[in-house]
């Protein structure tokens, strides 16, 4: 049968989601914990792979298994074998035509940026940081130019494996809560480093290095070399 899970994790100590030979990934530790409950090897497929240092509130993943276990086993049982930085929040049995990646209607990311002169202490590893004041209105103005279906090549990592750079961005905004800025994005799918590259470009706008319309110009250029550096993954 096919089981789907909702998973949250702190990505700070992991080399990203996707399994690697050294075993220090979210997928590796989750599959190991699932195998202990299933009594046989388990392979997991996720809705969207995250990079090293990137966190998740609601990663969706599925796996196929030939043994029957109650939902509590796939949640509390698996959690007992996971490191403290990873937790299964819920599980349910689904039809075999469900696929965590291909059945997803959209995906959402939030980026948290501490905007103050002094670097973070308590929030270290959980937020990005920029020391100079940022213009929220200018950044939101730049963001609006990204909404809709576009070729996002200017915000795509060189190693991105996506078949097409064309994605539909449904939501893009930034809001302030005290010293923390929250960037919210929802799209059909995302390219490798797409959110972090957009945030990096918005920092240039927010600190008045570039005007808001520069974001639209970057988008139209489809040239990654013209954009800002990829921003820190800790806040994603």
User: Any idea which residues carry the catalytic annotation?
Assistant: 51
User: Token digits for 182?
Assistant: 């929250």
3-state secondary structure at position 185:
strand
Tell me whether strands 2-9 and 86-94 are parallel, antiparallel or unpaired: antiparallel
DSSP state of 170: E
180-187 and 166-177 beta bridge pairing: antiparallel
Number of residues written out for the chain: 236
Whether 94 contacts 12, CB under 8 Å? no
| C-alpha separations of 174 from 14, 34, 99, 132, 154 in Å | 27, 37, 31, 17, 20
């Amino acid at each position: 049968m096919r089981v789907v899970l909702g998973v949250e994790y702190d990505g700070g100590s992991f080399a990203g989601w996707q399994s690697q030979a050294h075993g220090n990934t979210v997928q590796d530790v989750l599959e190991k914990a699932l195998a202990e409950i299933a009594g046989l090897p388990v392979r997991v497929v996720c809705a969207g792979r995250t990079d090293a240092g990137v966190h998740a509130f609601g990663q969706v993943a599925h796996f196929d298994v030939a043994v029957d276990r109650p939902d509590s086993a796939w949640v509390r049982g698996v959690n007992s074998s996971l490191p403290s930085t990873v937790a299964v929040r819920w599980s349910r049995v689904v039809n075999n035509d469900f696929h965590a990646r291909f059945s997803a209607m959209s995906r959402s990311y939030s980026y948290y940026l501490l905007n103050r002169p002094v670097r973070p202490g308590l929030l270290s590893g959980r937020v990005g940081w920029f020391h100079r004041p940022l213009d929220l209105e200018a950044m939101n103005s730049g963001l609006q130019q990204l909404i809709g279906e576009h070729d996002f090549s200017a915000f795509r990592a060189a190693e991105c494996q996506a078949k097409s750079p064309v994605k539909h961005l449904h939501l893009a905004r930034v809001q302030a809560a005290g010293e923390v800025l929250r960037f919210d994005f929802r799209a059909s799918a995302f390219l490798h480093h797409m959110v972090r590259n957009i945030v990096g470009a918005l920092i240039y706008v927010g600190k008045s290095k570039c005007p808001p319309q520069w974001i639209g110009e970057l988008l139209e250029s489809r040239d990654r070399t013209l954009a800002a550096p990829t921003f820190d993954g800790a806040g994603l």
